[in-house]
Chain A
Amino acid sequence: MATAAVSPAYAHAGASEKSGVWSWLTTVDHKRIGALYLYTALAWFAIGGTEALIMRIQLQGPNGHVVSADTFNQLFTMHGTTMIFLVVMPLSAAFFNFLIPLQIGARDVAFPRLNAFSYWVYLFGSLFMNSSWLLGMAPNGGWFGYAPLTTMAYAPGLNIDFWMLGLQILGISSLAAAFNFITTIINMRAPGMNLMRMPMFTWMAFVVQFLLVLAFPVITIALVFLQFDRFFGTNFYTMTAGADPLLWQHLFWIFGHPEVYILILPAFGLVSEILPTFSSKPIFGYPVMVYSGILIAFLGFGVWAHHMFAVGMGPIADSVFSVTTMLIAIPTGVKIFNWIFTMWGGNLRFTVAMKFAISLVALFTIGGISGVMHASPPADLQQTDTYFIVAHFHYVLVAGSLMGLWGGIYYYFPKITGRKLSESIGNWHFWLTFIGVNLTFMPMHWSGLYGMPRRIYTYDAGQGWHIFNLMSSIGAYIQAVGVIIGFWNLFRSRKNGEIAGDDPWGAPTLEWSIPSPPPEYNFAVIPTVTSRYPLWDVKSPQLTAEVPHSKHGDERNDVQVGGKHVAAFHDHLSAGTPEGGINPNAKQASTKVPLKTAEQLGIPMPFPTIKPLFVALFMTFMFGSLILIHKDKTDLAITGVLVFAAAMTASLYLWLTSPLEPNHT
């Protein structure tokens, strides 16, 4: 492939690229917000990984005593909470931000400032929750926080306060982002980009937003009850008042199971982008892939109680949830086979991104099989709360989600930065991760079936668990080396990587039709799409001959918008011509001709603004003030809440009354 002498990333830097800390604090550009999500989540990944490493050192041999029981409990609680809420979800959010507008042919998200707000809430919420480490009072109730262990009677410290308030703050971030992306996907697709032409990643992202919107309110309420109990003395989880501890479990898992799909579907989406590109074949069975994603999400709301087979729900409930859980295996299996048959007959190029994607397919299968094993309640009674479950969900979330997300990082890094990650360093990163993941989590199946419970800070000798734990620990150290190499790759390639060009991989979707990194307005001209593979349509039309096309835009030609017939808008953008916004020679063009600025093109871009940051900051302080109640400073807590609420409202007022962009009414 040709490498240009001039970096496209910097060819136009002087003209429109804004730099400096202030530009990052005030940015409303979805691509920069995506990058902020990416780097913040990777930082938390390092911390969550360190927490895991300390636990693996402790469990390496029997009766380990590197850390105390309480510290260990804080570590596993924060490891889970961090990896789920501060790593995998935000990494997915990084891709949602960066990719959704690019893949659907839009210039930004529907609400750019709300998008900035979501990021800042995530950042401040995560800092708030982890600030508990500085007090030595990190959350210690488990990521699942089962009542009544989290109530004042059994957890009088601030640990649980940091956890529940932190989760509430993070929930606001996720919900705000979800409303934004739903609106973006429904309403900002380029002409011709009908739903069944959306790239698979955008589809899975779309499904995930609905899961977020419907699942997060449930945990919000469960946490509100806990907050009220802890701060105001209500009785939701007070056993002496006759409360039912299973209330928390039901509410938590009605959220918690869809959460699993919130964590995995974005990675599925990324893999569905990577495999076709490096197989030079369209995704096998696109409609089935879409419907199976929707079906997984839909069934995901009807299986929550399979986390509760041991609580004694009775044989009927156990049977029902067992069968619904097994049903989920069907659409999941369909996805696996469709991925394999996407590669079947292809021209497979084993880049690092491709290797990560393939390893998701290979290893998620293992997590899926063990998942079916827990779906059988009598068998689950011998598995739940043991290391077998730990093995299962790490195969799903590390070998699944994280492998997919790493694949996504290798695949999209060129688009984000204009430079490719090193393939040779990446190979070390991949193989160490692949070996490390399997060596860590495969033996856990055995330690679980040989009776080792979860969440124990130590175990006795003579139980037959030592060898498996030793293997897991060695695997974890190998993973750590792999991740450090991966971080090094990211760091060095940012400045020294091979210059990528617009379309380094030969991909079929819209985001590769524009320069790398894209200009702030993304598309100088909004493209018109006539099939699922707009870029292949232009670059190698013979490859998409069998894919359904529409000749003249699509049915939206007949849609009335604002009283005007929009057909005219499409006419000069018909597919297959350079003027269609998709330029087959874009690479050469972008390296030679400096990109025009948004002003030159007459595209109104939103003003940068600091206000969402302040709203997020004051909101975090407002929630955080509540903690003072448990320091016997109720007056100060109330004052804090009121002051920060006022400051938040004032910032919000300034936000809402300032214009979004020039010449916008």
Chain B
Amino acid sequence: MPVLTRLRRPGTRQAGAAALTVALALLLAACGQNHPESIFHHRTDFNRDVDYLFKILIWAGTIVFVVVEGILVWTLIKFRHRPGQAAPQHVHGNTALEITWTVIPLLILIMIAIPTVRTIFKTQAKARSDALQVEVIGHQWWWEFRYPQYNVVTANELYLPIGRTVNFTLHSADVIHSFWVPALAGKRDVVSNHTNYLWYTPDSTTAAVFNGACVEYCGENHANMRFKAFTVSPADFESWAKHQAENAVGTAAPPATTAPAAAAAAAAPGTKTPATPAATVAQAPAAQVTQAGFIAYPRDSIPSYAIPQTPYPAGLTFDDNLLGHGDPANGAKLVVGQGACLGCHTIKGNPMMVGVVGPNLTHIASRTTIAAGLYPNDAQHLARWIKNARVMKPKVLMLTLGMGQYDPVAKTTMKSGLTDQQIADIVAYLQTLK
């Protein structure tokens, strides 16, 4: 039998050891970080059930790992070739041993299977009948949320009352998506031609913001189909829902006069209180809520991980000086006019704005992000979004609207279109839609 000399490569080994040390150091550093989307947050009954299973799985896995690798490493050290070693004994099997390592894994698996099956049936039982119903509709590439009990339709930002079970009914408008807020619960696919359900009870004691995402590959912008979930106190939730159910600012006047009314209502940019008599009726409740009640998660308490940091795409410029001086009245005209927003968007109360292809804009200003969590909802981002959404987020249905802008989907340059000033007006208007 040919005998190979034992290989000694101290250099290689040292390099390997050094690399492993660095890796471990990095890993330790990593573990000390903040992980807002960790599945180990126990903010719901669902995640605590999963965590119980995870504990079993991780402990069983760790024990198996240590035992197997321990025996392996020990074998490698103990039975390494030594010069002059006699030929080994040729054991070719041992029935007792083989039965042992068949039975032990079986027992471990039974230990995992029983709580697994129990949890399956618990989490997939029917939700309690007094649960908050939320319809989730997946679109390429944004989320529509409907609260049928509150007559609310919103997009990309989910409000959940603490302590109340929420039952999601999941539909898809196109391809398969998957609905997931890791810190709250497991995911459930949003399957075309199917209705799926998912329920859990957010029961943390404090209000919080969670990032959610689509986790089933759904096309080009799969990575940019994000959303937020806000857990708030039941009272704040009721207040939020009541406000969301209302018509948009300045649209409660009789339908025929809506457009001018809205324009007038929005005449005073940047103020929370309506400035013109025409809008007083419409604004009164909203204004009250604005002052007294909770209409949106306070911007200044949103943690940094929930504020998008996506950079502007290169080459998309906007004269930011125009922002803040926009004319909301003109903006209100533009959304139903040259801006052509009416083709796809709804602004509740405005009879012209009843499109359902895109997100509902009734209370767009109460949301913290645009483009399905891709950009913060501020004037700069909103303006660029309106100017050329298809550069901000490739292949979206939202049209390229800025004059002279290149539309990468239609592969044409916009000969007509909105000027930066007009866009600033629209932004000013949208920012009144609290």
Contact = CB atoms under 8 A, between A and B. Distances in A.
Given A376-B119, A451-B35, A451-B211, 9 more contacts: A63-B310, A73-B219, A148-B175, A310-B178, A311-B191, A323-B117, A381-B185, A463-B211, A546-B91
B9 A424 contact: yes
Nearest to B216: A385
A453 B12 contact: no
Given A471-B23, A547-B90, A246 B191 contact: yes
Contacts of B140: 154
Contacts of B226: 460
Contacts of B58: 373
A327 B281 CA distance: 68
Nearest to B9: A427
Given A146-B217, A376-B112, A385-B187, A245 B193 contact: yes
Interface of A: 1, 62-63, 65, 68-70, 73, 140-142, 146, 148-149, 153-154, 239, 242-246, 279-288, 310-312, 314-315, 318-319, 322-323, 326-327, 329-330, 333-334, 336-338, 340-341, 343-351, 358, 361-362, 365-366, 369-370, 372-373, 375-382, 384-386, 423-424, 427-428, 431, 434-435, 438-439, 442-443, 446, 449-464, 467-468, 470-471, 478, 503-506, 539-540, 542-547
Given A337-B101, A349-B6, A285 B113 contact: no
Interface string B183-195: 1011111011110
B1 A245 contact: no
A421 to B, nearest CB: 13
3 cross-chain pairs, A with B, having the tightest CB-CB distances, nearest first: A381-B186, A451-B37, A456-B223
Contact of B218 (A149, A287, A348, A468): A149
B82 to A, nearest CB: 8
A464 B37 contact: yes
Contact of B197 (A312, A455, A546): A312
25 contacts: A1-B4, A149-B217, A239-B192, A244-B194, A245-B191, A281-B90, A283-B92, A310-B187, A311-B194, A311-B196, A322-B120, A326-B113, A334-B101, A361-B72, A379-B53, A435-B16, A435-B19, A435-B23, A443-B30, A454-B217, A460-B226, A462-B305, A463-B36, A471-B26, A544-B90
A345 B49 contact: no
B120 A377 contact: yes
Contacts of A358: 72, 76
Contacts of A542: 87
A312 B20 CA distance: 41
B39 A382 contact: yes
A454 B215 CA distance: 7
Contacts of B47: 382
- Interface range, B side: 35 or more
Contacts of A142: 217
A543 B120 contact: no
Contacts of B106: 330
A12 to B, nearest CB: 23
Interface string B158-197: 0000000000000000111010101101111101111011
A65 B394 CA distance: 13
A312 B194 contact: yes
Contact of B15 (A323, A431, A452, A545): A431
B2 A336 contact: no
B6 A312 contact: no
